[in-house]
A and B are shown apart, each in its own frame.
Chain A
Amino acid sequence: MGNDSINIDSSKSLPFGEVGGAFPGKVHETPGGGIVLSKLDDIINWARSNSLWPLTFATSCCGIEMMAVASAKYDFSRFGFEVARATPRQADVIIIAGTIVNKMAPVLKRLYDQMADPKYVIAMGACAISGGPFFYNTYSVVKGADHVIPVDVYVAGCPPRPEALLHALISLQQKIKSGLVR
């Protein structure tokens, strides 16, 4: 295998917090090429983290911010999130962008259950984290989406800035690469 075919950083493995994430392996030089030495789990996680397909799921204003992140100015396709899927069967990550009300909670649970493993969850904004501005005096809002499904990354804000969501997406990638998620 030619060394120039993949960008291999043989000097180091992958510490948590490294942005970008080089290929997790070492090259053992042999005459006429080399052998890649790595752990299969690391390679699978590396591949997964760079192509995460989000579900098109938005329940309130954070959804508009998510669309902004998808569009040209912020463009989460730079990090491998561009293939937004309208079906949970094909999605890897669900960005809970907005308020979850009691009537929506079973729908969210069902969407999550329909997603194929491995699946990841980002709770975007105050509503998805804690019920948001509605936490204290309404009969209808779930006080945090983590009452319904497990959440990997929380993004604070009402709504969060696009940069904050990008940071959350990259944090999720780092979490996957370091093997910290299921």
Chain B
Amino acid sequence: MLNEELKIKITEFLPAVTFEESGGWLIINIEPKDWLPFAKQLRTDEQLFFNYLFCLTCIDWKTHLTMIYHFTSTKYRHSIVVKSKLNRNNPEIETVSHIWRTADFHEREVYEMFGVNFLNHPDLRLLILPDGWEGKNPMRKDFEDPVNMIKL
């Protein structure tokens, strides 16, 4: 599907989205509360069929966090990016690990690095960081480590 067709299709089942096409990807901005039904639709809709979540990450903008999901369809070869703004003080979003299994580890990584709480995740614990790093979130912009980090 072309980007214009994707836009029409997506607006049909979730009118409350905004689109951006500045960077070569079709970017879809959604509210966190809409995410779970929207994700299910992306995966199961016969015409969309986004069966491959190839990137799941997060950005700390100091004022808020943004969750970013990159999807592609191995059947139709079309791709989208879904972004969702989260409250920085209490970042919460529904897990999609039961829809795309790969999200399981990626969400754990975002959880340890940014402190995003993935609701209903089956096994939300540290992925790579050793024990004792719970709640420290080293990828947050305001993370400080006076022992290992030097301010220039």
Contact = CB atoms under 8 A, between A and B. Distances in A.
B130 A138 contact: no
Q: Report the interface size class on chain B.
A: under 10
Contacts of A102: 130
B152 interface: yes
B138 A139 contact: yes
A136 B152 contact: yes
B145 interface: yes
Interface in B97-150: 128, 130, 138, 143, 145, 148-150
Which secondary structure dominates where chain A touches chain B?
Answer: loop
Interface in A135-182: 135-141, 143
Nearest to B152: A136
Interface string B84-103: 00000000000000000000
A58 to B, nearest CB: 20
A103 interface: yes
Contacts of B150: 135-137
A135 B145 CA distance: 13
In which size bucket is the chain A interface? 10 to 19
**Chain B binding surface, main DSSP class:** loop
Contact of A137 (B128, B130, B149): B149
B130 A136 contact: no
B148 A139 contact: yes
A132 to B, nearest CB: 14
Contacts of A139: 138, 143, 145, 148-149
A143 B148 CA distance: 8
A35 B149 CA distance: 62
A137 B144 CA distance: 9
B32 to A, nearest CB: 28
Contact of A103 (B130, B138, B145, B148): B130
Nearest to B145: A139
Contacts of A135: 150
A137 B152 CA distance: 9
Contacts of B128: 103
Contacts of B152: 136-137
B126 to A, nearest CB: 12
A49 B148 CA distance: 37
Nearest to B143: A139
Contacts of B149: 136-139
Nearest to A141: B148
Interface string A91-120: 000000000001100000000000000000
A101 to B, nearest CB: 10
Nearest to B138: A139
Contacts of A103: 128, 130
B135 to A, nearest CB: 14
Given A135-B150, A139-B145, A143-B148, 11 more contacts: A102-B130, A136-B152, A137-B149, A137-B150, A138-B148, A139-B138, A139-B143, A139-B148, A139-B149, A140-B138, A140-B148
Interface of B: 128, 130, 138, 143, 145, 148-150, 152
6 contacts: A102-B130, A135-B150, A136-B152, A138-B149, A139-B143, A140-B148
